């Protein structure tokens, strides 16, 4: 069992390499072991391309030993044809000895079918190895399937005396340059980034990953009465952007105006994002918008920077009635992480 955890931990670490590149697919890593030695490794690297099991099998120098090997995979091998053939068929064809799995896939297209097919082929199956760690790894994927909404990350920076902006909405720059670069890394890991009316109007943000590498998330802005200036960066057509409002539906180049008819508007926005295949969204402000998501009970994680600056007066930071699960220093900024996973699961 200790060996199983050791190799599965390696599979989970490999899976993280796909962060930001495989959505809406899950993150998956695979390790192949023969005679207590790793002979193959792989992970799902890009959406639409080979899955982890395929990459791991292809990395094995001598394919003849696969029939006496154990395959460690962080998620149940797929049993359906999508962008690629079923991974379970590859493992069956090579007659691997045993498959060890962290999480059973909750996708209705898989959901135990991969395991059944392996068992029918006479392959030994072990499940639940580092299952909780696998839940955390694929919290975006599991949340989307189980709750029919994206995984929601709240992010803001506040002063030491609890303000996110001055009274005139000026918020540049509360956090330091290292924290801002870290935020761009986070953006590259999520499917979408969302801001409200005031942040768009006063900060004119680009909401890109220009200080990191990776793909830009889909930009999302809430402008209920369509009052924002069309000259803002958000409407420049450089990145796919969705403007949620209560007045019209219209599509332009890289820009969709989507009318939400229901109340509360937050719930309608999240369901529309889910239908578009967006599994995660990082909400970067402002204070009123973040408060709407907190009050609506739609959030999963919060990342809060606290700087040493003080404003004295201004726009108060949101508050969360949850325990801090992690604190770290980013230069002279303190970063507090809040999570609801420990209380309600994924």
Pick the catalytic residue: 53, 76, 189, 190? 53
What's the token pair of residue 136? 């955390």
| 316 contacts 162 by C-beta, under 8 angstroms | yes
> Is the distance from CB of 256 to CB of 232 less than 8 angstroms?
no
CB of 170 closer than 8 Å to CB of 202 = yes
Half-sphere exposure of 159 (CA within 13 A, CB side): 18
Question: Does 328 participate in catalysis according to the annotation?
Answer: no
Strands, sheet with 192-195, edge to edge from the N-terminal-most edge strand: 250-252, 255-259, 241-245, 218-222, 192-195, 280-283, 151-158, 301-306, 333-339, 324-330
The residues annotated with a catalytic role in the active site are 53
């Amino acid at each position: 069992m200790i060996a199983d955890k050791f190799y599965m931990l390696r599979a989970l670490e490999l899976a993280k390499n796909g962060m930001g590149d495989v959505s809406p697919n899950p993150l998956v890593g695979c390790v192949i072991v023969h005679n207590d030695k790793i002979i193959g490794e792989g992970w799902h690297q890009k959406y639409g391309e080979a899955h982890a099991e395929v990459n791991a099998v292809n990395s094995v120098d001598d394919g003849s030993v696969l029939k006496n090997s154990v395959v460690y995979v962080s998620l149940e091998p797929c049993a359906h044809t999508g962008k690629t053939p079923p991974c379970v068929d590859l493992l069956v064809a090579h007659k691997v000895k045993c498959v060890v799995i962290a999480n059973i896939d909750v996708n209705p297209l898989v959901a135990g079918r991969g395991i059944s097919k392996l068992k029918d082929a006479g392959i030994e199956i072990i499940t639940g190895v580092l299952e909780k760690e696998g839940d955390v790894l694929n919290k975006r994927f599991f949340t989307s399937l189980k709750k029919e909404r994206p995984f929601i990350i709240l992010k803001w920076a506040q002063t030491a005396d609890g303000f996110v902006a001055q009274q005139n909405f000026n918020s540049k720059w509360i956090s330091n340059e290292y924290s801002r670069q870290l935020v761009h890394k986070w953006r590259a890991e999520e499917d979408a980034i969302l801001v409200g009316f005031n942040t768009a109007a006063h900060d004119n943000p680009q909401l890109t990953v220009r200080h990191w590498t990776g793909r830009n998330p889909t930009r999302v802005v809430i402008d209920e009465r369509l009052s924002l200036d069309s000259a803002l960066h958000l409407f420049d057509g450089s990145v796919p952007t969705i403007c949620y409002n209560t007045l019209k539906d219209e599509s332009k180049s890289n820009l969709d105006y989507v009318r939400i008819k229901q109340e509360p508007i937050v719930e309608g926005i999240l369901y529309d994002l889910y239908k578009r295949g967006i599994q995660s969204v990082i909400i970067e402000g402002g204070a009123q918008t973040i408060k709407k998501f907190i009050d609506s009970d739609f959030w999963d994680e919060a990342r809060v920077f606290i700087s040493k600056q003080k404003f004295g007066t201004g726009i108060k930071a949101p508050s969360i009635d949850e325990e801090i699960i992690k604190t770290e220093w980013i230069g002279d900024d303190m970063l507090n992480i809040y999570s609801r996973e420990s209380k309600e699961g994924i």
